[in-house]
Structures are given as C-alpha cells and as structure tokens.
C-alpha cells in the first residue's frame, strides 16, 4: 500500500506535520503565511512544495487527509473573541474551500484549534464549523480536547482536535475517542508511548485525572534541563507555551534551578513540544520568532498519536 498523502494548511513550524510524518504519512504540500516559518518548513521538508497564502492556494489534486490549525486569535479566551467573523479565524472557510476541492469521498480532514472554539459566541461558532463540514459531506465527525501533558511531555496544553471523514458512519469516533479503552483497558491507549515516563495508564490521551505528579519532577529534568550541572527543582508541569511574552509570567514557563529562576530556552520549548533540538533554528534565527512560533505550535506527540490511529483507519478502508 502506498503511503497516505497529507496536505497541510496553516502549517506553522510543522508540529502537526512532524507527528503525522512519524505516523507514516507522506506530505503533498504545506502552506504557511509567515516568512520565517515558511523558510523553516522548506528546510525541514526540502522536497515538499510550500505555498504562501491559503487564500490563493490553488487547491488542485487529491490528498487522503487535509490537516491544519486555522488561526485561533479571534477564538481564544485571551483575545477579543470576534469568532469566525474575525479577520484571522474566518480563514477556516478557506480551509473548507480547500477540503471541498482536495478531499474525496471516504477521505479525511484533521483540524486543530484552542478550546475556545467550542465556546466562542456561546457555541454558535463551533456549530457553524460543524454545519459547514456537513454541507461538504463530512458527516462522520468527532471532536475532542487533548492535553499535551498526557503524551509524554511535561506541558499543560489543551487543544481541540476535529477529525472528520467525507462519508457517513462512526469511523471518526473510533479514531479519536478510544472506544477500546472505555471499559478500563488502559493498556491499549498507552501502547503508542511505552517508554515515555510522563505517560500514565489512566491519563494518556484521555483528558483524565492528573495522576502524573509523582513523576513530573523527573520528566521536567529530562525535558528542560539544558544545563546538566544545574539541579532542576521544578516539580510540576510547565505552563502552556504562548506566542506572546518571553519572560516568566508573560507567556513562558520558568525553570526553577539551584541558581534561581530563569525563562526556558528555545531548545527547552522545542522539547516541551516534542520537537527535535534545534528544530526552529535556521542558523542565525533570533530567539523572539522561535518563541512565538513554538507558542503557536502543535505538540508533535499528540498529532502522532492521532496520526497512527488515522493511518490504521485508512489502511483498514483499503
């Protein structure tokens, strides 16, 4: 069987895409408006076309999966909450246009956004998202909020993921909702991360209770201790990385060491997003755009978990 092909819109620095690649998908294209992030994508995927603007994207051809995290600024509880009528989050409708052109019957989309999507305008904006997808034939649809801290990284980061198939049925629920673990068979859900110290049996991918605190100190040391001679004293999960700020308390978590409190380095933030060390460094990249990009990124371990289940569903269909 050929590798399933995925197309990516609003690609950022490729956190969603790296996870899908690890799960077995091959990329047909990427699309990103920010010049620095577009250069990074072209460096990390040198054989994949990288387009500049979703509004002028040609949307020709076919992919097995179309993925993307459309801009969240108008949906976030930290913003003005203009919703899908805002200038940035309204780009969802460009994603829908591309999905209509690129995704065939029985194929899939994967959408990522902040949990504020579910509550924006009292839930009406999310209803518009679902209605728009239904009008295009994506009747088989499921959504779920997943937290990165349950996927092998010590970061509290909740995001909503929508998986939909251009067909009728309940396959999307099987991909995203772990029905095999509903009766307490947690071994099935942890199988993807057997060696990750932060993955607990009852927490992995379920959004369940926080039962990892006993291990958190050891995981933090692995994830963020760039200076191996510094004793890492932090015993809790890092706060959610953000595209704003850059100082402790202004969008980025602090590492508390024997030498005092300092902000996380870009490399440590890469590790909190399960990205390879140096992923955001193009040789002479200043820290500021790296911090901003990492704050916007999808945790690759989360997208890999979804990707493996999606890959299995596609293989089963074939």
Residue 36 and residue 280 in contact, taking contact as beta carbons nearer than 8 Å: no
Residue 279 in tokens: 């992923």
Residues in the chain: 318
| Residues with Cβ within 8 Å of residue 102, at least 6 apart in sequence | 7, 59, 60, 61, 62, 63, 66
**Upper half-sphere CA count for residue 52 (Cβ side, 13 Å):** 2
Residue among 68, 71, 77 at smallest CA distance from 15: 68
Task: Check 72, 98, 141, 269 and give the catalytic one.
Answer: 72
Distance CA 287, CA 281 (A): 9
Q: Name the residue with tokens 């076919």.
A: 62
**Across 123-274, where does the E strand assignment appear?**
140-147, 158-165, 254-257, 260-263
The yes-or-no answer on residue 269 being catalytic is no
316 by DSSP, 3-state: which? helix
Q: Name the residue with tokens 């992995």.
A: 204
The catalytic site residues sit at: 72
């Amino acid at each position: 069987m050929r590798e399933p092909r995925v197309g990516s819109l609003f690609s950022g620095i490729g956190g969603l895409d790296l996870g899908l690649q690890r799960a077995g998908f091959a990329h047909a294209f990427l699309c990103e408006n920010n010049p620095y992030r577009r250069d990074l994508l072209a460096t990390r995927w040198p054989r994949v076309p990288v387009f500049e603007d979703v509004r002028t994207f040609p949307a020709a051809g076919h992919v097995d999966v179309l993925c993307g995290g459309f801009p969240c600024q108008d949906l976030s509880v930290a913003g003005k909450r203009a919703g899908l009528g805002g200038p940035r989050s309204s780009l969802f409708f460009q994603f829908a246009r591309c999905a209509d052109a690129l995704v065939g019957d029985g194929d899939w989309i994967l959408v990522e956004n902040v949990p504020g999507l579910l509550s924006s305008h009292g839930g009406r904006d999310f209803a518009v998202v679902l209605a728009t997808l239904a009008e295009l034939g994506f009747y088989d649809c499921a959504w779920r909020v997943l937290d990165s801290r349950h996927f092998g990284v010590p970061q509290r980061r909740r995001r909503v993921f929508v998986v939909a198939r251009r067909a009728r049925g309940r396959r999307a629920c099987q991909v995203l909702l772990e029905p095999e673990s509903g009766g307490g068979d947690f071994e099935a859900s942890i199988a993807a991360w057997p060696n990750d110290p932060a993955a607990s049996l009852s927490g992995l991918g379920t959004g369940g209770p926080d039962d990892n605190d006993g291990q958190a100190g050891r995981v933090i040391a692995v994830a963020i201790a760039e200076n191996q001679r510094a004793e890492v004293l932090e015993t809790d999960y890092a706060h959610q990385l953000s595209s704003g700020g850059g100082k402790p308390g202004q969008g980025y978590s602090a590492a508390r060491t024997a030498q005092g409190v300092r902000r996380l380095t870009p490399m440590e933030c890469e590790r909190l997003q399960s990205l390879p060390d140096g992923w955001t460094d193009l040789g002479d990249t200043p820290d500021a755009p790296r911090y901003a990009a990492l704050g916007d990124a999808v945790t690759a371990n989360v997208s890999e978990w979804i990707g493996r289940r999606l890959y299995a569903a596609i293989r089963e269909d074939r």
